[in-house]
Structure 1
Amino acid sequence: MTGAAVGAQREASVWARVRSFAKRALLVELRIYASIGRLVARRPALPAGATGFSYHKPVLTILVIFIVLSAVEIPIIDLIVHQWPFVRIPLLVLGIWGLTWMVGLLAAYLVRPHTVGPDGMRVREGLELDVPLAWEDIASVAIDRRVDEPKSPRITETDASRTLSLRMQDETNIEIELERPTAVRLPGLPPKGGVHEVTHVRLWTDDPKGLMAAVREQI
C-alpha cells in the first residue's frame, strides 16, 4: 500500500470516528430531553407486560448533589459577570445546559430501569446502554454480589467465559448466564464499544430479590 493510500485510509478513519462521535452526542442529547419528558409524564420506558427494576440508589446522592451545586452556581456566576453581557450570556447558556444535562441523566436512571417481561430481560444503564436478552438466550439468573476493582473494564475474559459487567460503584449483584455466546452492542467505537459476544452479563439492581421473583414468574 502506498503512502498516499495509507494517508487516505487514516483520514477516512478519523472522519468515521468524528461522524460516530457526533451521532452519539446527538442521540445522547435527544435522550436527555426524552428522559425528562418521560419523568414528568411518569411514563417509564417499559416493554408491554414488563416490570422495571431500578439501579440508581448507589449514585442517587452524588447526582442530586451535582444537580444542586449546578443550580446554585448559575445565579452566583451570573451575579459576578452581570456587567459583562458578552461573558454573561454564554456562561448563562452553558450553565443552564449543564444543569439540564444532569437532570436528564438522573431522569434516565429513573425512567430506563432494567426490565423483566414476557419477551425476556433488558439490561440498561443511564442514557445509552440497552441490552435485550431473550429468554431462549438465558440459561440462568442468580443473585451473586461482587465488588470489582475500581475502573475495571466492562468486558472481562477468562478461558471459560466472557462477561459484560454493568457496575454501580464497582458492584454487581445479579449474574445472568447465557446459553451460548451472544452478541451485545455497547455505546461507542471498538475496542470498548461496538458489538461484543459475551457468555455472562452481570448487573446491579436495587431489588435483587424482586428481580429474581419476576424472573421465576417468566421461566
Structure 2
Amino acid sequence: MFVELPRRPVWLSPSTILPPIVIMVVAAMLRLPVAAAHPRAAALAFLWIASDAMMLGLMARTRHLDWRGGIAAMATAGLTVLSLSPPPVRAALIAMPWALAIPAAAIAIHGGRGLCRVAERVRRWNASDPDRWVAPLAEILPRPLARLAVAEARLLHLALFRWRAVPDIPAGAQGFAYHRHLQPMMIALLLLSCIEIGVTHLLVAHWSRTAALVLFVVSDVSLLYLIGLIKSLRLSPVLLTETGVRLRAGLLVDRTIPYDAIAAAVANPDGETVRALDSWNIALLAWPNIVIRLSEPLPPRLRWRRSPVRAVALRLDQPGPFLDALRARLDAEAG
C-alpha cells in the first residue's frame, strides 16, 4: 500500500468537540432570567463548568496531565468565561477577585511563557522553514488555530496584493498551467456575485440594518476568498519535480505523487474512469483531459468514502507537453 488509511484527526475527536459545545450551551443559558437574577452564582457556575470541561477534555486527549497543558486549559477557560458572559454576569465575576485569582494567574503564566518562546523562535528565525509563521503563533494559540490564522492571513495577502506575482515554480521543476479555461468562468462568477450581493444588501437593509451589516461583512470576506482562489489558479501550476508530480488546483489541492507510485498517464479519459469510486477528479468546472493511474493507491480523499484512490483525473491547458515530460521522467526512473 502507498500509505495507511488516515486516522481521525484530533480536532474531530469527542474530547475536542464536546468542551466547546458544553461551554456554548452554558453561555446561552446565562441569558435566562434566572441567571440575571443571580449573577454571582451564575458567574461562579460558568467559571467552574468551563474550567472542568477544558481540563477533562485535555485529560481525555493526552491521557495524562502536565502543568503546561493544565495552565493553558485554565487560561483558555478564564478567557472564554470573560468573553462569553453577558454584562451583568461579567460584572459580578470581576467584583469577586478571589474567584478570578487562578484563571488570571494561568493567563499571566501562559501568556508570559508563550511570549518568551515566541521571542526565542524569532531569534532563531529561518526564512526557509515552511512553518516559520505557524511555530511562533502556536506558542500562544493551539496549533490548529495557529495554522488556520496563518492560512487566513496568507489568503487575504494573496487576494489584496500579489497582483503581478510570478507562478510558483521551484528550481528544477516544470510547471504546467490549467487556469486559462477556468479564470474566465470564475471571473464571470465573481461579477455575478457582486451584482447579487449589492441587490441583496439593498433589500435586507430595508428590513434590518444590523442584518445588512452582518451580510456585508460575510459577503465581502467571501468575495476576497473568491478573488484569492482565482489568483491562486495562475500562481499554483501543476509541477513535475525531481521526486514526483505535484498536483495542484489553486488553494484547494496540493498533493505530491512520487514517480514510482505512477503506473501510467493517458489522455482523454472515458466517463467510466472519471466517475469511478476510486478516481479523484481535481479538474475544476471542466471535463478532465488527463488521467494518472497509480500503482500504489492513495488513502481515501474523504472520510465517508472508503475507496482508496487509484486514479487522478485533471485538466491542463497543454496536456501533450505534460504527458511527454511525465513519460520521459517515468522512463528515466524505470531505467
Instruction: Report the TM-score when normalising by structure 1.
Output: 0.66
Q: Within the alignment, does 1:214 sit opposite 2:325 as a pair?
A: yes
Q: Within the alignment, does 1:108 sit opposite 2:232 as a pair?
A: yes
Partner of 1:12: 14
Q: Deviations over 1:6-63 (max 9, x none)?
A: xxxx9828928x99xx869767645533543685251433333222222234443331
Give the 3 Å change call, closer, same or farther, for CA 198–83 of structure 1 in structure 2: closer
1:142: Cα distance to partner? 2.5
* 1:176 partner letter: I
1:201: Cα distance to partner? 2.2
Higher helix share: 2
* 1:207 partner letter: Q
* 2:288 partner letter: T
1:132: Cα distance to partner? 0.3
Q: Percent identity?
A: 23
1:140: Cα distance to partner? 2.6
* Structure 2 counterparts to residues 126-205 of structure 1, below 5 A: 126-147=250-271, 152=275, 156-157=277-278, 163-169=279-285, 171-178=287-294, 180-184=295-299, 186=301, 190-192=303-305, 197-205=308-316
1:66: Cα distance to partner? 1.8
Q: Are the aligned partners of 1:167 and 1:204 in contact in 2 as well (CA < 8 Å)? A: yes
1:100: Cα distance to partner? 0.7
Distance in 1 (alpha carbons) for counterparts of 2:152 and 2:296: 32
Q: Deviations over 1:133-168 (max 9, x none)?
A: 122222332223434699x4xx624xxxxx333233
Q: Please, what is the CA RMSD of the aligned residues?
A: 4.0
Match of 2:187 among 64, 87, 102: 64
* Structure 2 counterparts to residues 47-86 of structure 1, below 5 A: 47-73=170-196, 76=199, 81=205, 85-86=209-210
Distance in 1 (alpha carbons) for counterparts of 2:325 and 2:273: 30
What are the ranges of 5 or more consecutive residues in structure 2 without an aligned counterpart?
1-11, 22-143
Distance in 1 (alpha carbons) for counterparts of 2:273 and 2:266: 21
Q: Are the aligned partners of 1:174 and 1:208 in contact in 2 as well (CA < 8 Å)? A: yes
* 2:244 partner letter: G
1:121: Cα distance to partner? 0.8
Q: Are the aligned partners of 2:300 and 2:309 in contact in 1 as well (CA < 8 Å)? A: no
1:200: Cα distance to partner? 2.6
Distance in 2 (alpha carbons) for counterparts of 1:184 and 1:57: 30
Instruction: Report the TM-score when normalising by structure 2.
Output: 0.46
1:210: Cα distance to partner? 2.1
Distance in 2 (alpha carbons) for counterparts of 1:201 and 1:149: 10
1:103: Cα distance to partner? 0.7
Q: Are the aligned partners of 1:149 and 1:170 in contact in 2 as well (CA < 8 Å)? A: no
Give the 3 Å change call, closer, same or farther, for CA 86–199 of structure 1 in structure 2: closer
Give the 3 Å change call, closer, same or farther, for CA 148–69 of structure 1 in structure 2: farther
Higher strand share: 1
* Structure 2 counterparts to residues 35-54 of structure 1, below 5 A: 35-36=158-159, 39-54=162-177
Partner of 1:3: none
Higher relative contact order (CA 8 A, sep 6+): 1
Partner of 1:4: none
Tell me, what secondary structure is at the counterpart of 1:44?
coil
Tell me, what secondary structure is at the counterpart of 2:183?
helix
